[in-house]
């Protein structure tokens, strides 16, 4: 496993792998890896890719009052996890390596970036798209792997790839959960034991909705969302949104059917958590 920090090293290694006929699989992450990240990496490796993982906590996608400084980081632990997975390359750039002091350009996917998460995290997806576009240009992947855990991010990246004619297949991977149902997330580290118990209300509400749809054939969004909100509001957490939407454009839907999803966010103490269920 090669660990590299420089953009020109990425280009050289990828060029060399391509001349050997390798399919490049790219997994962008912000590190502090968990089994959600690992499932993306295993998918890339199972697909036979020359697999490159990036670890970069991207300052551009954090608002001024968000957790950029205290975002969990543990490179030694991350690298030992990646080594066990037989990853080919890990790219760990510094902020100065990624962005020159005079960096100006942004990649913005309007409309769908302003919904849901976008209302609570203005500018977040522009930061995400800008760094992902740069990382795509550096790694020239054939396939890039993203988790459904961040459903809106996945949908926006897919749109960016289509709109900019990027020749990259976006592979989506199901949300990985801990045994108690909580969606795995680096930010779960912030939760105290008490908060973690409270946080479970989001996955519990989504699970109840899933059962209503799949076992009882209840597909009326209003009924489903009302039930979900009631469950969430029964716990001492702040519900930020719970919405039924079309997956492609994130427009509200009145009936759950294929290619729709229910996306939600809560705040438990100071910690924001997102989760969803989707019907692909």
| Interface residue list for ligand AMP (CB under 6 A) | 29-30, 36-37, 39-40, 146-147, 149-150, 173, 175-176, 183-186
Residue 1 or 30 with smaller CB distance to ligand AMP: 30
Q: How far is the CB of 236 from ligand AMP (least distance, A)?
A: 24
Rounded (10°) CA dihedral 32, 36, 41, 44: -150
**CA-CA distance, 118 to 125, in Å (whole number)?**
7
Residue 63 three-state SS: coil
Residue 51 or 175 with smaller CB distance to ligand AMP: 175
Residue 195 or 275 with smaller CB distance to ligand AMP: 275
**Whether 143 contacts 24, CB under 8 Å:** yes
Instruction: Pull the structure tokens for residue 132.
Output: 């992902």
**CA-CA distance, 267 to 199, in Å (whole number)?**
8
DSSP 1: -
Residue nearest ligand AMP, Cβ-based: 147
Q: How far is the CB of 217 from ligand AMP (least distance, A)?
A: 28
Q: How far is the CB of 36 from ligand AMP (least distance, A)?
A: 2
For tokens 């409270």, what's the residue? 198
Helix (H) or strand (E) holding 275: strand 271-279
For tokens 């990646």, what's the residue? 82
Residue 219 or 276 with smaller CB distance to ligand AMP: 276
**CA-CA distance, 205 to 183, in Å (whole number)?**
13
Q: How far is the CB of 235 from ligand AMP (least distance, A)?
A: 21
**CA-CA distance, 37 to 53, in Å (whole number)?**
10
Catalytic residues: 37
Q: How far is the CB of 83 from ligand AMP (least distance, A)?
A: 18
Q: Exposed (0-12), middle (13-18) or buried (19+): which is 107, by Cβ within 10 Å? A: middle
Residue 32 or 50 with smaller CB distance to ligand AMP: 32
Number of Cα atoms under 13 Å in the Cβ half of residue 87: 28
């Amino acid at each position: 496993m090669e660990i590299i920090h420089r953009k020109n090293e990425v280009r050289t290694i990828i060029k060399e792998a391509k001349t050997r006929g390798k399919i490049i699989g790219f997994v962008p992450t912000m590190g502090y890896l968990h089994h959600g990240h690992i499932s993306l990496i295993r998918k890339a490796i199972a697909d036979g890719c020359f697999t490159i993982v990036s670890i970069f906590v991207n300052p551009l996608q954090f608002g001024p009052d968000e957790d950029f400084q205290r975002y969990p980081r543990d490179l030694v632990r991350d690298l030992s996890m990646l080594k066990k997975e037989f990853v080919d390359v890990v790219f760990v750039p510094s902020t100065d390596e990624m962005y020159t002091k005079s960096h100006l350009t942004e990649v913005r996917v309007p409309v769908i970036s302003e919904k849901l998460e976008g209302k609570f995290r203005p500018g977040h997806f522009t930061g995400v798209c800008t760094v992902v576009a740069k990382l795509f240009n550096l790694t020239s992947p054939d396939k890039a792997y993203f988790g459904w855990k961040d459903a809106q991010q996945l949908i926006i990246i897919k749109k960016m790839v289509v709109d900019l004619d990027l020749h990259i297949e976006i592979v989506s991977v199901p949300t990985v959960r801990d045994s108690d149902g909580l969606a795995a997330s680096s930010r779960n580290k912030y939760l105290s034991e008490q908060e973690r118990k409270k946080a479970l209300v989001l996955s519990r509400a989504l699970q109840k909705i899933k059962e209503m749809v799949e076992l009882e054939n209840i597909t009326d969004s209003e009924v489903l969302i009302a039930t979900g909100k009631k469950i969430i509001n029964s716990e001492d957490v702040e519900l930020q949104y719970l919405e039924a939407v079309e997956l492609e454009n994130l427009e509200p839907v009145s009936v759950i059917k294929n290619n729709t999803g229910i996306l939600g966010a809560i705040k438990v103490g100071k910690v924001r958590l997102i989760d969803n269920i989707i019907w692909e």
